[in-house]
Amino acid sequence: MIEAPKNCLILCPPFMERELIILNNLGLHARPAAEFVRCARKFKSTILIRKDGAEYSAASILDILSANLDCGSRMVLIAEGRDAQQALDQLAEMLVQFKKQEEE
């Protein structure tokens, strides 16, 4: 039997995922990271970010900041649960809004 590393969360199908690129110049620094986490915590689904082979909880500010989500970073947003589609849609839109706010 193969065991997952202790810091790895295994999601079983069905789950949804979406590849995204961080577009705002400062990336997900403290303020937008906190907003992102607050939004992720509203959902019942388990939401993860996969970047460079590592997985981070979207509901943890420490995980988000540890992921080094700088401008141009590629990540995969993964959600498992009954509101997974809504979670992906809202979190992806939030990333777009961060860029728009920066341009204002």
Phi-psi region of 46 (alpha: psi -120 to 50; beta: other; left: phi over 0): beta
Secondary structure of residue 76 in the 3-state scheme: strand
- Nearest-5° angle of CA 41, CA 76, CA 79? 40
| 29 labelled catalytic | yes
d(Cα 27, Cα 34) in Å, to the nearest integer?
Answer: 12
Q: Which two tokens stand for residue 90?
A: 């809202």
Select which of 15, 16, 17, 29 is catalytic.
Answer: 29
As annotated, the active-site residues are 29
